[in-house]
Amino acid sequence: MILAPLGLKVLLTPQARNSMVYDGRPPCCGNATCVPICPIAAKYDASVHAQKFEQLGGEILDQAVAHFVAVDTQGRVTAIRFKRPGGSEHRAVGRIFVIAAHGIETPKLLLISRTDALPEGVANGSGAVGRYLMDHPIQLSWALSKEALYPYRSPLENAGIEQFRNADFRRERAAFRVAVGEDGWSFPGTPPPALASELIKEGFRGKALREELNYRAARQFRFAALIEQLPDPENRVLPAWDNPDELGIPRPRIVYDLDDYTRKGLAAARELHDQIFDAVGVTFRKHAEEHYGAGHIIGTYRMGNEARTSVVNAQQRSHDHPNLFLLGSGAFPTAGTANPTLTIAALALWAADTIRQDLAG
Ligand SMILES: Cc1cc2nc3c(=O)[nH]c(=O)nc-3n(C[C@H](O)[C@H](O)[C@H](O)COP(=O)(O)OP(=O)(O)OC[C@H]3O[C@@H](n4cnc5c(N)ncnc54)[C@H](O)[C@@H]3O)c2cc1C
Ligand code: SF4
């Protein structure tokens, strides 16, 4: 109601969380502890399918670090070599190989698998592997409202303002979506225990401490605007050959910056947040001066129709190696503004159909 005069609408955010009993897992009970993991398994996580895989006879090896993708002279992947604690060497062999180590480790693994025959690494005929690294840089803004809003009663983000994801302004500056937080000031770094410590330092004790803690925690709210970032080939992941880890595998080196287009999007988000704070009526407000990362690692093995300019096709199959699939948001050619994981899942299901057909063939 407060936002309607500003022409703003708050919409529900799609979520991988049960609202009713499903697949043997209970509905969400709203304890607001979804990160890092839902304690009652109402929120989906990878352990759901890991268990199903094992029940079907699949074998999962933990503490196994892939470090080399072997390719034969026909361009088919023949093995993935991996190391276990202590440095012992092993090989995974098969007919079809899927790498899903996310947007930094997948390209790093491909790039360190270079040989005389593939001097630029595996799946890298285009030279695009590791390039076009994107995230959704976040403009975080937080405030204390005059009235109690009572956060911490649901998952951390249920809703957002979606109307700035696309319009003519994109000729000038980046789009964004605004995630409305339900986690008080946890994201800016002051969850209730930290707030209690601050209040104790300010001299609050006993009943006064409890009352002040309740008063402030009930009024904390924040917005996180996820800003679009353009695919820039200079933003990239490279193997740090001079900086190996304990197993002797190069760590990733990240080259990453924001351009003016994205910075203008951050500024527009701050302005919008201020308009909302004015409309709500707040007693305190703050905008993060530097952007936060969203952990949405996008673009480093981009999908496309042409082998010359992209790494995988729409089925997530490598253009260069027909029995290699690369899953995850590294395949997104552009970042848009939406949180990536449901799209990752959709593309993975699509790839799975293709893999099933390949195996049947
Ligand atoms: C704080 C935070 C909040 C997020 N919130 C959201 C959200 O609200 N909505 C949303 O859609 N997305 C969100 N994301 C993004 C989401 O977490 C990712 O999109 C998703 O986890 C990607 O899944 P994945 O399986 O591709 O990669 P991952 O989950 O990263 O899995 C990759 C796996 O590969 C393993 N691995 C890596 N290298 C190797 C190797 N060399 N050998 C063997 N194994 C290897 C890793 O150990 C890991 O288990 C968030 C991310 C962060 C960090
Ligand atoms: S709020 Fe989050 S952690 Fe709590 S039950 Fe719901 S999904 Fe699980």
Ligand 2: centre distance to CA 32 (Å) = 6
Pair 293, 137: CB distance under 8 Å: yes
Q: What is the pLDDT of residue 77?
A: 98
17 CA distance to ligand 2 centroid (A)?
8
Q: Cα dist. 267→141, 271, 336 in Å?
A: 11, 6, 17
Task: Note the pLDDT tens digit of each residue in 163-222.
Answer: 999 999 999 999 999 999 999 999 999 999 999 999 999 999 999 999 999 999 999 999
Is the separation of the CB atoms in 67 and 81 below 8 Å? yes
319 in Cβ contact with 310 (< 8 Å): yes
* 258 pLDDT higher than 70: yes
Query: For the residues 233-252, what does the mean pLDDT come to?
Result: 98
| Ligand 2 contact, 30 CB (< 6 A) | yes
Q: Is the CB of 35 under 6 A from ligand 2?
A: no
Q: Which residues line ligand 1 (CB under 6 A)?
A: 64-66, 100-102, 105, 109, 295-296, 328-329, 339-341, 344
Q: 11: helix, coil or strand?
A: strand
Query: In the predicted model, what is the mean pLDDT of the chain?
Result: 96
User: Using 50, 70 and 90 to split pLDDT, how confident is the model at 260?
Assistant: very high
Cβ count near 70 (within 10 Å): 16
Q: Find out whether the peptide bond into 36 is cis, omega within 30 degrees of 0.
A: yes
pLDDT at 1 over 80: no
Summarize the confidence of residues 1-19 as an average pLDDT. Answer: 90
Closest ligand 2 atom to 41 CA = 8
Q: pTM of the predicted model, to two decimals?
A: 0.96
Which residue's CA lies nearest to atom 2 of ligand 2?
34
What is the mean pLDDT of the segment spanning 108-125?
A: 98
Task: Please report the pLDDT score of residue 226 as a whole number.
Answer: 98
Q: Quick check: CB of 160 below 6 Å from ligand 2?
A: no
| Ligand closest in space to the Cα of 34 | 2
Q: Which of 35-39, 49-53, 82-86, 298-302 has the lowest mean pLDDT?
A: 35-39
- Model confidence pLDDT, tens digit, residues 40-68: 999 999 999 999 999 999 999 999 999 99
Give me ligand 2 centre to Cα 342, in Å. 18
Instruction: Give backbone dihedrals phi and psi of 254, rounded to 5 degrees, phi first.
Output: -110, 130
Relative to the alpha carbon of 41, which ligand is closest?
A: 2
Q: Domains plus CATH for the chain?
A: 16-58 (no CATH), 69-81+95-133+296-360 (3.50.50.60), 141-240+252-287 (no CATH)
**Least confidently predicted of 20-34, 189-203, 220-234:** 20-34
Cα separation, 138 vs 141, whole angstroms: 9
Region 75-103: mean pLDDT is 97
Given pLDDT bands bounded at 50, 70 and 90, which one contains residue 154? confident
What confidence category does residue 37 fall into, taking pLDDT thresholds of 50, 70 and 90?
confident
* pLDDT over 80 at 141, yes or no: yes
Residue 63 CA to residue 76 CA, distance in Å, equals 26
Task: Give the whole-angstrom CA distance, residue 109 versus residue 104.
Answer: 9
- Ligand 2 atom, smallest distance to 17 CA: 7
The best mutation among 49, 61, 102 to test binding of ligand 1, ranked by most ligand atoms within 8 Å of the C-beta, falls on: 102
Residue 135: per-residue pLDDT: 98
Q: Which of 67, 296, 319, 321 is catalytic?
A: 296
Ligand 2 center to residue 34 CA distance, Å? 5
Give the residue among 124, 119, 69 at the shortest CA–CA distance from 302: 124
Distance 102 CA to ligand 1 centre (A): 6
**For ligand 2, is residue 31 a contact (CB within 6 Å)?**
yes
In this structure, the residue with its CA closest to atom 20 of ligand 1 is: 341
